[in-house]
Chain A
Amino acid sequence: MESVSAEAKPAEQGIAMHRKRSVKLLRDMAKVWQLYVLMALPFAYIIIFKYVPMYGAQIAFKNFVATKGIWGSSWVGFSHFTRFFHSYEFWNIMSNTITLSFYQLVAGFPFPILLALSLNYVMHDRFKKLVQMVTYAPHFISVVVMVGIIYQVLDPRIGILNVVMGWFGVQPVDWLGKAEYFKSIYVWSGVWQNVGFSCIIYLAALAGIDPALHEAAVVDGATKVKRMWHIDLPGILPIAIILLILDVGRMLEIGFEKAFLMQNPLNLRTSEIVDTYVYKVGLASAAVNFSYSSAIGLFKNAINLVLLLVVNRFAKKMGQSSLW
């Protein structure tokens, strides 16, 4: 008897402990049941509006027929993907997307930093406030209005740019009708719109620099240029690098909205990017092709995911815990 009970003991104990632990877990969960009720609605939203479309993305591997539904349509494997890779538009669209975002990255990077460094050395508070107020404002202009402004300013007939060029005897140019100007217009109007807002974060980083560093530098006779170079710039470098890395992770996400509005048949050669192409093939053309269009979108999202994961690992190595 004794030996049996001695053998049974540990097992029984294990089960009992296990049961005790799960009972405790359930009791702890029951204690905060109201939190689960709060979470129910947002969680349902995420499942329905985010995960159901992910499930629906399987039509990229099928020939979607509306009457058969997502599940009922037949599988075709990767044929939509290979069709896209072999289409004559593939390289053009990919290179447009990548060069446009790369151009945007490079052109958009230095100006907010320059503005923040400059603002940091302004002694007149009212002037500083005025510059901030005006440069932040364009950020809140909608894409449609922004592109509307671009159209008005660059209009070949009445646009101010062509009017001013006319003063110097230069013939008016149809800026938006020329494919070679599309990327520059896209990028520089973006810099104009966002330079102020992007500098906010650098201003905060500058405000976080220990004033003792500046005081010590002044005592040692450092000029403002030297202080800017040796104190301020190293002070904002980490955040600048993190933002740059993040932007690389969003490389393919340059966004449908602005490019779509700036497109016209004349500049399509340089203005067609992945997102606008997906929209056209999937929803706006005469012969809509849901499956083919989803495949292109899924291809882009998959690359995006990989980019983000790589970039996050990079950021971790840089000493940041994680980007999320």
Chain B
Amino acid sequence: MNTSIKEAAEDRWFNVLNYTVLTLFFLIVLYPLVYIVSASFSSTNAVVSGRVWLWPVEPGLKGYAAVFEYKAIWTGFGNSLFYTVAGTLLNVVLTIIAAYPLSRRDFIGRQWIMFVFVFTIMFSGGIIPNYLLVKSLGLLDTRWALILPSALSVFNVIITRTYFQTNIPQEMLEAAQVDGCSDWKFLCKIVLPLSGPIVAVLMLFYAVGHWNSYFNALLYLKDRSLYPLQLVLRSILIQNQIDPSMVTSEEDLVARQGLADLLKYSLIVVATAPMLVIYPFVQKHFVKGVMIGSIKG
């Protein structure tokens, strides 16, 4: 888009307009984030009286101290970490062992199996039959309920299959077969080492999905000690159920209410922090992921 030809006057106006539009987008997306972070570092008093609008007012860490003392949040944090790590591991393994055979032309019956997979994207039994299944398998109120029912995403199988088809040359397979390499060995020794990008994309998609989801937990878990972070967040941020004894020893009702308000801002920051910490490192991967996903197999 860079040209050595001198820009026309019209183009200069275009540039001004263009940068204005972009700056507007930028500020509109950024402002609520800045506001939340600033409020989380302000004092109770400043938050309650609405004096925070851009930078922290009377900066302090009282909100964070309250979050750190709130036990349920840390139980949830630990649970979510477990569901995310265990769930993602299972997801990635299952996705690869499903996608690899489907990518092979000599895998007889692959069209038929593909149809069996893809049909589940278009049609599903519904919430209640799923619930009845989980119940009859005896998974209700166990950690398995958050891992097994979401063990595989067909959409990810499709993008992984496409990746294998376009990135593993047929000649390589033939050469390996001539040398007497078995299919398992080929998958482990040749395909996997070539699949770094797709595995990174899968891990990212699955991990974000596990960390952010609350629906399955809402359906299948009653036991609070198994709650993932998102359900704890729901009760605090949305249902406003804050156990005052967990937050503060203050007797004053107004001070308690103020601290509860402040706690919410800090909690939003803490709950999003893990995502934001890994975000810069994975940004280039998810751009790639969207690209792979947009290529049809």
Contact = CB atoms under 8 A, between A and B. Distances in A.
A133 B22 CA distance: 13
A140 B208 contact: yes
Contacts of B106: 28, 31-32
A305 interface: yes
Interface in B197-245: 208, 211-215, 219, 230, 233-234, 237-238
B19 to A, nearest CB: 8
Contacts, number: 273
Contact of B238 (A147, A192, A301): A147
Interface of B: 1-3, 5, 8, 10-11, 14-15, 18-19, 21-22, 25-26, 28-30, 32-33, 35-36, 39, 47-48, 50, 52-53, 94-95, 97-98, 100-102, 104, 106-109, 113, 116-118, 120-133, 148-149, 151-152, 154, 157-158, 182-184, 187, 208, 211-215, 219, 230, 233-234, 237-238, 261, 264-265, 267-268, 271-272, 275-276, 279-280, 283, 286-287, 290-291, 294, 296
Contacts of B47: 158
A114 B277 CA distance: 29
A90 B3 CA distance: 60
Contacts of A324: 118, 121, 158, 296
B290 A201 contact: yes
A240 interface: no
A38 B97 contact: yes
Interface stretch (A6-14, A52-60, A100-108): A52-60
Nearest to A289: B128
A293 B127 CA distance: 9
A53 B215 contact: no
B68 to A, nearest CB: 18
A5 interface: no
Given A120-B1, A145-B233, A163 B50 contact: yes
A162 B124 CA distance: 43
Given A29-B108, A32-B104, A34-B183, A261 B128 contact: no
Interface of A: 25, 28-29, 31-32, 34-36, 38-39, 41-43, 45-46, 48-57, 59, 70, 114-115, 118-123, 127, 130-131, 133-138, 140-145, 147-149, 151-153, 158, 160, 162-164, 166, 192, 195-197, 200-201, 204, 214, 218, 221, 223-225, 239, 256-257, 261, 275, 278-279, 282-283, 290, 293-294, 297-298, 300-302, 304-305, 308-309, 320-324
B133 A52 contact: yes
B276 A143 contact: no
6 contacts: A52-B129, A59-B128, A118-B21, A140-B208, A200-B287, A239-B294
A210 B40 CA distance: 48
Contact of B129 (A56, A192, A305, A308): A56
A118 B25 contact: yes
Contact of B132 (A39, A70, A147, A162): A70
B131 A283 contact: yes
Given A46-B152, A144-B237, A192 B127 contact: no
Contacts of A118: 18, 21-22, 25
Contact of A45 (B2, B100, B152): B152
